[in-house]
Amino acid sequence: MLNIVLFGPPGAGKGTQSAFLVEEYKLIHLSTGDLLRGEIAEGTELGLKAKSLMDKGDLVPDSVVIGMIENKLTANQNAAGFIFDGFPRTIPQAEALDSLLNQHGESITAMLSLQVPEEELVKRLLLRGKDSGRSDDKDENIIHNRIREYNTKTAAVASYYDTQGKLVIINGVGTISQIASSIKNGIGQ
Ligand code: AP5
Ligand code: MG
């Protein structure tokens, strides 16, 4: 399997570049943000609980997202591989992912970390907020809180993969196809 973690702050382009990876490597895209928004749209109990945290730009509890990923891995055991987008976001999530993959004799191939300056992130998200319908894109304070959550709780996950020799830094500024081609080089296959 080819198992890629696509990493980076809010607005770095994880979702955009995942579309390219799905096409290029026939991988299954697992975005915990998309899965949570799906739960909210369906009005499930999990969605209701997650919504109040997501609307503020806070992370939802580890147990919630780990459970969702576990279900998806179990349901797609014959996949060519996965792109993890927006997961793992904490060290306990990264440890849980390693252990889930290990149970299937699999592991993470590489983490691609998209680097984009904060000013550019805010600009992209406010622009998208005009018509995305995402409640966490509308208000600059919420966007700043999402970036703060990334800096204080999530950024350390890159070191977790660096220690395993799996971290690849990608310049996330440029055209979408330039960045896609850097990602392809970073994956090296
Ligand atoms: P999530 O849905 O993961 O959102 P995010 O990380 O905040 O990131 P975005 O989806 O906003 O950005 P992206 O990097 O995917 O960029 P995109 O390609 O869209 O999480 C939302 C919330 O869910 C969290 O705040 C948290 O509450 C909860 N959550 C999710 N996962 C969790 C977890 N594991 N643990 C705990 N809580 C969790 O691009 C952004 C914009 O920029 C788009 O408009 C795009 O068109 C544009 N763009 C893309 N590339 C370029 C480019 N090269 N140049 C110019 N514009 C570009
Ligand atoms: Mg996204």
Residue 181 lies in a domain: no
**What is the domain count for the chain?**
1
**Ligand located closest to 19 CA:** 1
- The crossing angle, in degrees rounded to 10, of helices 91-103 and 62-75 is 20
Question: Catalytic residue at 89?
Answer: yes
Amino acid at 77: Q
pLDDT of 189 reads 79
Residue 62 lies in a domain: yes
> Which amino acid residue places its CA nearest to atom 46 of ligand 1?
16
**Do residues 46 and 184 make contact, with C-beta atoms less than 8 angstroms apart?**
no
Proportion of the chain above pLDDT 90, given as a percent: 97
Give strand pairing partners of 7: 113
Give the Å distance between the CA of 1 and the centre of ligand 2: 23
In the chain, which ranges are E strands? 2-7, 28-31, 81-85, 110-115, 167-171
pLDDT of 17 reads 98
Give per-residue pLDDT as tens, 150-175. Answer: 999 999 999 999 999 999 999 999 99
pLDDT of 132 reads 86
**Do residues 19 and 25 make contact, with C-beta atoms less than 8 angstroms apart?**
no
Residue 188 lies in a domain: no
What are the C-alpha distances in Å from 49 to residues 40, 44, 60, 79?
Answer: 9, 9, 9, 30
**Ligand located closest to 123 CA:** 1
Q: How many residues does the chain have?
A: 189
Query: Range of 52's domain?
Result: 2-171
Residue 75 lies in a domain: yes
- Cβ of 65 below 6 Å from ligand 1: yes
Q: Which of ligand 1's atoms lies nearest the C-alpha of 174?
A: 53
Give the Å distance between the CA of 99 and the centre of ligand 1: 25
Q: Which of ligand 1's atoms lies nearest the C-alpha of 137?
A: 11
Sheet with 2-7, side-by-side order of all strands: 28-31, 81-85, 2-7, 110-115, 167-171
Give per-residue pLDDT as tens, 60-72. Answer: 999 999 999 999 9
Residue 86 lies in a domain: yes
- Cα–Cα distance, 20 to 26 (Å, whole number): 10
Residue 179 lies in a domain: no
- Cβ of 176 below 6 Å from ligand 1: yes
Residue 95 lies in a domain: yes
CATH of the domain at 18: 3.40.50.300
What is the pLDDT averaged over residues 136-142? 95
**Ligand located closest to 13 CA:** 1
Token pair recorded at residue 31? 């975005």
Give per-residue pLDDT as tens, 22-42. Answer: 999 999 999 999 999 999 999
Residue 158 lies in a domain: yes
> Which amino acid residue places its CA nearest to atom 2 of ligand 1?
33
